[in-house]
Amino acid sequence: MDCLFCKIIARSIPATIVAEDDHCLAFRDINPQAPTHILVIPKEHVPSLNEMTDPALAGRVLAFARDLAVKEGIADRGYRVVINTNAEAGQTMFHLHAHLLGGREQGWPPG
């Protein structure tokens, strides 16, 4: 599988991994857009939210991101969890991932 995020799961390419359980892995975004910018991915390869068939997978990713927001100290201040899906939303990595963004004021609507 020629997927960079699968390679991060396999530890065949490096990443700053911050948390892991049986189903999810979290690592710091290489090009952070906020003081906290962590990617949460399922260990199962799913290209995007469009191909996700098991809603429990999305629930695990979301709860994992929430737990990390607590650990990062941004849960009370506020944070955003974003899943870009396909071209118009700006998805560039086709292994489902949630961005956890926080530590600064964030505008609405997003760009």
Contacted by 3, from Zn ion, ligand AMP, none: CB < 5 to 8 Å by type: Zn ion
- Pull the structure tokens for residue 93: 């990595």
Q: Is 93 in the site for ligand AMP (CB under 6 A)?
A: yes
The CB-of-28 to ligand AMP minimum distance in angstroms stands at 7
Distance in angstroms (rounded) separating the CA atoms of residues 38 and 80: 11
Contacted by 70, from Zn ion, ligand AMP, none: CB < 5 to 8 Å by type: none
Whether 103 and 74 have beta carbons less than 8 Å apart is answered as yes
Q: Is 90 in the site for ligand AMP (CB under 6 A)?
A: yes
Catalytic: 95? Answer: no
Distance in angstroms (rounded) separating the CA atoms of residues 73 and 25: 19
Q: Is 23 in the site for Zn ion (CB under 5 A)?
A: no
Radius of gyration for the chain, computed over Cα atoms and rounded to the nearest angstrom: 13
Catalytic residues: 97
